[in-house]
Amino acid sequence: MDAQNSFFKALQGISDPEEKREAITQTFYKDVFGKLVKQSGARHLLQGTILTDIDETVAGIKRQHNVFEQLGIDPQETFGYKIVEPLVQLRKDGVRKVAEALGLPVSIYKRMPFPGPALAARVIGEVTPAKIAVVRKATAIVEEMLARVSAFQYMAILHNDRVTGIREGKRDFGHQIELRCWDSIDARRAEPTNLPYELLVKLAHKITSDVPGVVSVTYNITAKPPSTMEAV
Amino acid sequence: MDAQNSFFKALQGISDPEEKREAITQTFYKDVFGKLVKQSGARHLLQGTILTDIDETVAGIKRQHNVFEQLGIDPQETFGYKIVEPLVQLRKDGVRKVAEALGLPVSIYKRMPFPGPALAARVIGEVTPAKIAVVRKATAIVEEMLARVSAFQYMAILHNDRVTGIREGKRDFGHQIELRCWDSIDARRAEPTNLPYELLVKLAHKITSDVPGVVSVTYNITAKPPSTMEAV
């Protein structure tokens, strides 16, 4: 189902992270999934909400898109269907253990987390189709070049700030991509992975060469806390 | 001479890097230094413009504040005094050699470069007294912790973009500081310094602990080109 127009429309003009997350939540549960439910006659949505999603949302750190009951929202009343959450008592490491015990393949139970709001969580400021194209290209490079690194999660983030660069001896006021690569057990605490300097420099070279408009790449060196895993 | 009010006033509401550089140039040469000249009867300004300043300004990469004649501006006509530039045929490495040959102390001829527009060149977006206070604090930490690193230049840059952080279990939508540390001979080309991971993590910890409002620190891993040394 191609729902990109609905999401881009909902995100237009919004730059506050929490407002962006709320716009994505409403668009998904009410509009995109709501329509599917009406068309199909389905009465339930089965989804993988985990304990950390609830903790962070209730504490007001980040509004995770998949949390409702704990915020006093009844999905049946609001969206017209029930939500079933079998993993709601587990954290990431617990989910992996259950998946392994159930005999799921390693590509599933060791799979890297990816945010509910997808690449919209990887764009600082307003989300537009052009910005998503930039961050998607950078993400593909990062995922390919770090595929053999055993980290909890790695990502590329497109900044809204622009910085001065040079291309062929001329000014190029361009974009900056921030890379994050985390070591973590359950996402509650995390440390930046000690990636080799040569790999970092190669990543920056590849991204500034292959992604149009990007003149600068940084690597995040902060722990969580006080950082969070995703910037948005 | 305390001229901060003149500079902050000239910078108010401006976020484009080239407009910021132009505002600082005009404020310094016309207003701040111009007044000194009138009061003192001086007829010359002796300044250390070098060849790289002229190259980058003429190429349109960055408007260096100390370049006039090559842009067709006559300082005598425009500001009321002559500008004397004895180093204008040299680059950074040549200046260092001349200073050493003249018997100046090593603390002078090996001194780290610092931008003409000072910390205003280290703030992305509008420059305010509050932002200068933040970047000054981060700069002091970087200069202290990297004092023994033999790099060409190191710096802290305050971003305008804000990112989501956590403090004491609560959301803290805060600032990000970008660190840059360059290996270079003459500033025309540069590589990020291969700083030890432990030192980077320590820097991030110290900055997020001691500088109010900062929840995230990155390290720039891009070469010049396509980056420039300073972000603004």
Per residue in B39-65, pLDDT (tens digit) is 999 999 999 999 999 998 888 888 888
Helix or strand run (H / E) with residue B99: helix B92-101
Nearest chain A Cα distance for residue B27, angstroms: 22
Q: Using alpha carbons only, what angle is made at residue B89 by residues B88 and B95, rounded to the nearest 5 degrees?
A: 80
Tens of pLDDT along B130-174? 999 999 999 999 999 999 999 999 999 999 999 999 999 899 999
**Looking at the predicted structure, is the pLDDT value of residue A187 above 90?**
no
**Looking at the predicted structure, is the pLDDT value of residue A61 above 90?**
no
For β-strands B170-183 and A44-46, DSSP reports them as unpaired
**B63 with B24: CB under 8 angstroms?**
no
**Looking at the predicted structure, is the pLDDT value of residue A188 above 90?**
no
**Looking at the predicted structure, is the pLDDT value of residue B9 above 90?**
yes
Choose the mutation target among A135, A166, A200, A203 for the interface with B, i.e. most B CBs under 10 Å. Answer: A166
Specify the pLDDT at position A59: 86
Specify the pLDDT at position B186: 84
Question: Which of residues 40 through 59 in chain B touch A, CB cutoff 8 A?
Answer: 59
Does the ipTM surpass 0.85?
Answer: yes
Tens of pLDDT along A68-83? 999 999 999 999 999 9
pLDDT tier at B216, thresholds 50, 70, 90: very high
**Mean pLDDT computed over B10-26:** 94
How many Cβ pairs within 8 Å bridge chains A and B? Answer: 153
Q: Which residues contact B232 (CB under 8 A, 6 or more apart)?
A: A163, A164, B17, B20, B21, B117, B120, B121, B122, B123, B124, B157
**Looking at the predicted structure, is the pLDDT value of residue B38 above 90?**
no
Specify the pLDDT at position A23: 96
Specify the pLDDT at position B169: 87
How far the first Cα of chain A sits from its last, in Å, is 25
Check B61 against A171: CB less than 8 A apart: yes
**Looking at the predicted structure, is the pLDDT value of residue A31 above 90?**
yes
**Is the CB of residue B166 less than 8 Å away from at least one CB of chain A?**
yes
**A134 with A215: CB under 8 angstroms?**
no
**Looking at the predicted structure, is the pLDDT value of residue B188 above 90?**
no
Specify the pLDDT at position B61: 84
**Looking at the predicted structure, is the pLDDT value of residue A60 above 90?**
no
pTM: predicted TM-score of the whole model, two decimal places: 0.93
Specify the pLDDT at position B62: 85
